[in-house]
Structures are given as structure tokens and as C-alpha cells.
Structure 1
Amino acid sequence: MTFDVRARRRASRQLRRVGGLVASLAMAFPAAAQDEGYCGDEGVWLQILGSGGSELTDQRSAASYLVWIDDTARLMVDAGSGSALRFDETGADMAGLDAIVFTHLGAATTADLPALLEGSVDAGRKGLLPVFGPSGNDLRPAIGDFVERLIGANGAYAELASFLTFRNAAGYKLSVREVSATGQRRWSRFSSDVLKLSAIPVHYGGIPALAWRVEIGEYVIVFAGSFSNQRDRVANFAKGADALVVSHAAPEAARGELREYHAIPSQLGRVAARAEARILVLGNRTSRTLGRESQSREAIEQHFTGPLVFANELECWGLPDKEDELP
């Protein structure tokens, strides 16, 4: 029996209207905005591939996301454990991606990259697949060195080294590009026919990390990833975002080293408020925050009064029309 995920998604067609979103947002979360695993055929959609961290106790894939534009997945953000399976479950196609971007480099964000590449041999993709990630330091390699160590001729998965050339069965080549994760300069050197990318460095302990801004016509999605906000730059970078996606890995009571890596809920609320974000999406939900949603919501809503989404696996959220008012 043939299982055609894309056909099922078309069968579940739903107009990209804010009504269903508002109804879901007005209720207690989590609640799926669309049939599980399927996005609408029209408009801009944010899909949660993985909503957890790297723990083995949360029954979630590591944080990873897709941006869909008119029934095609055009951007993948991070590729942690479980994301390859979730990618397959959505019916997404590697041939349609404009790029893959990483917020930082580590097992939690990159573990399934080799699986995605190996599984794409018959995807029918041609040309280049841009892969963007941060520069390196003494703690982590730059994206170019990282990919070479992972799938280069002398790498951990040397059988995938042909993806760094055009001499492979898949028919496409990775174009690995480094984005500076130091200083204050905003990077903006990539655009396709439907989207534009920009990035800034964010503070994540001592690990090089980036926040990504995705502009699709009049719509904006910002993936802030994991950040402590010590540099206080995310709010300005995310100004006017239709959806601001952040890591919800630290509870309000967090102290010590954890605060070097993750903003607490009240800080996330302040960032979202200053950014005037329309929707705040809380991903990377860990055992430290799962079950504490009411406390996190209370801390966030002291500053941000817009809709909150506590992300769950495979949920897909359509960006509301600009003229629609959200609760």
C-alpha cells in the first residue's frame, strides 16, 4: 500500500485564515493549528519538527523547524536527533529546500544531518544546497570544519564525502557557508526567489551561536535559538516578527551556569514585547520546563500579552494575515 503523505496533506486543505489560529491560541496550549503533520497548501507556515532538547526522557525530538511556503518546505532550521524522522513524516522534500541553517553546532542541533543527507539520494535535487552555520572558536569548530569532520573524506561518515562534490548519486552538492558569530554586525548575504535570510551573533555561554531572521514577502519569522540575552540584541533583530521562536529550556527560578546559556521566561517575555512580536513560540522544551507551563506563562505575560505557543511535535502554524487582530 502506498502511503502518500503529500496527497494526505492536500486532502486536508485548509485556507490560511486566522480564525482557526485565534481559536487555538485562545485556548490552553498545546493545541495543533492543523491536522497533525500537515500544513496548509497556501501561505506561510511554521512547522515544529522537534520540540524538545537532547534528553532521553522527554519523548520529544530535538528542536528543529521547517518553514513552508505554498505547500513546499523551503527552509530547515537545525537538524537535531529525531528531525530526520519528523522531516519524513511531514512529507517535506529535500529537493524543495532553499537552505539549511544552524543556530549553533552541537549534537542537539546537528545529530541527524548525516541521516538527512543519506536519505536524500533519491530526492531528485540538483545544483547546490546552501548550509549556513556559525564561525568557530576554541570550544566549537566553524561550520566548514564541522562538516568536514562529519562527512569529509577523513570524517566520521566518510561514505557521505561525495556530498561535498557533485560526484554523488544524489545529484547535488552542499555549499557550506560560515556566518560570523562574533561582534555586532548583521549578516545578510542570502536570498532566493521567495525568502531572505539574515543573522546576528547571540550569547550562548562561550559557544558560537546565531539568531536567524527569515523574511518572506511581508512576513517575518525569527529563530532566536538558545541565547542568554546578555548582549540584549535579539529584540531589535526580531522587530516586527510575525513569529518569534525561542528556546524554553530554563525555568524562571534558574540560577548559575544555566543562565549563561538560556534566557528565563520573564526575559523571553521582555524580548518579545520589545520586538512587538505577534506570536511567541516556545521550543526546545526540556525536563526543566515541561510541566511548568503555567509558571512560565505567568512570568512571560508580565511583559508580553500576545499569543503564546508551547511547541509540540509536528504542529504547523499558519502565519495570520497582517490585518487580522490576535487575542
Structure 2
Amino acid sequence: MAETSDSSLEKPTIIQQAMASCCGAIITSLLVSPLDVIKTRLQAQSNPFPKGKCFVYSSGLMDHICVCENGNSKAWYKKPGNFKGTLDAFVKIIRIEGIKSLWSGLPPTLIMALPNAIIYFTLYDQLHEALKYRLKKGDEYIPVLAGSLSRFSSLTVVSPLELIRTRMQHRKLSYKQLYLCVSTQVAADGWFSLWRGWSSTVLRDIPFSAMYWYNYERFKKMMCKQVGAHEPTFLIAFTSGAASGSIAAVITQPFDVVKTHRQTALWESETLESIIPRLCKVAPACAIMISTYEYGKSFFSHLNEKMNQRP
């Protein structure tokens, strides 16, 4: 990533930011979700999932509550494997089932994860610029505020959709039946019932987002200063993202345990993630997402610069 001007004409537009976040989200999902597929298959092998039990599937962008189907189901997480470990599972799944099996369960979750990532990252940049312009002083706390507000907004938009997706999967409802089910619930419990489980997610994600962006901006600025760069290189963004994501994951681990327990308790699940598996998932996801997003923004900045230089 080369040096860019501070001219607003050369900054990526909001559409370009959305495109960069979308590309980053897709790349992150493709690279990270196989790790969670293998983790889920290993869990199902050691402790088979009964009908109605829930497990957490991560696309690399967000966690999704998935409900197990009946015992005769041919669902991807019920396929036999006889795996001896992570590497053995990776090799056997590719050899026996084909490489596509590493992305089992990803397409349905991307419908929710992509809008979530686009809203989150695009809104963060927009809020960051707006707050930086208005506040002038105390800019070290701007990432905290912008990160918290953008995460709050993305969760609020996507949470009802994720609840509907989970319910549709659990009960095998048609769209007409789903509409009647949701309408009945809203009539009985009000519109806020669509945000059930939202509070436990906010309890974890808002602190995570605040710490993540605060540390990311600090690490990025520090590393850019050390190498004399005016904007982050791919490596700087990758390293800063991994470090800040790891710190935020460790500190917010208790909130993650509460969130997982409260959501999966609805389906009588007793599995709680430990810090090591969470770090193995969060660190690479944060690193890949932010580095590809920054690279995408840099690409559009240079493209805008070239377009502006044309006679």
C-alpha cells in the first residue's frame, strides 16, 4: 500500500468501503470457516448431537446458533469420520468427502454474516471520520466510541434475521408458516421479542469491539511510525488485527461464556468454549478481515487518485 493524499476526493466512498468490507468478509469466511467445520465434526464424533440440541457454528464473521436435525439426517455435522485429531480430520474430510465439505454450512450463514460485516466496518469508518472532524481533541477514544456504536448498529439490524433463520431451521418451516409464526409471536410478545438473545450478544460484542478498535488503531499507528509508512501495509494491518483481536478475545472471554450459555441453554446444550479454541478462531479472523478490508480501501483510494489525475 503506497502513500496517499489526505484529499477527501481520494478517499474511498461509502460504496467502495462497503465493497471492500464485503470482499474481506467473503475471504475471511472462506479461510476461517473450515476450522470451525473441523471443530464441529470432532465435537459431534466424541459427543453425538441429539435431535434439538444446539451447537455454535462460526463463519469467521459471526457466531450462528444451529439446531441439530433428527438422528437419520444426512446433515454435514452427522457424517461419520473416525478422526484422530484436527490434522487427521482435515486430511480425511478432503480425501473422502471432497474439499467442498470444509465449507459445509457456510452458505446459509453468509446471508446473515455479510450484511453484518458490511454494516459494521463501513459504519465504523464513517463514524470514525465524523467524530474525528467534530471532536478534534481526545481522538484516542474515537475508535472506542465508533467501534461500539457500529457494532451496536450491526447487531441490532442482523439479530432479528438470525433469530428467524434459527427458528426456520429448527422447525423446518415454510416461508408462509414462518410468517405466521413470527406474526403470532409479535402479536403476543411485541416487536422486541424478535431481539431475544440480543442482550447477551451485546454484552460480549460491544466491549470486544471497543477494545479491538482502540488497540488496532494504536498498534497500526505505532507500526506505521516505526517503518515510516503513511498508511498501513498488508502486514501491518494483519499483525495489528491479530494482536488486537487476541487481546479483546481474552478480556471478553467471560462475556462469551455467558452469551454461549444463555443462547444454547434454550436447546439444552452444555458446551462452553474455552479460551484457546476461541483465540484460534478470533485471531486469524480479525487479522484476515481487517487486512483485506484495509487493502481494499487502499486499492480504491489509489483508483480514485488515478481517476482524479485524468485530464
TM over 0.5, shorter chain: no
Which structure has the larger Rg? Answer: 2
TM interval, shorter chain, is: under 0.3
Report the structure, 1 or 2, having the larger strand content.
1
TM-score (norm. length: structure 2)? 0.26
TM-score (norm. length: structure 1)? 0.25
Greater relative contact order (CA < 8 Å, ≥ 6 in sequence) = 2
Report the structure, 1 or 2, having the larger helix content.
2
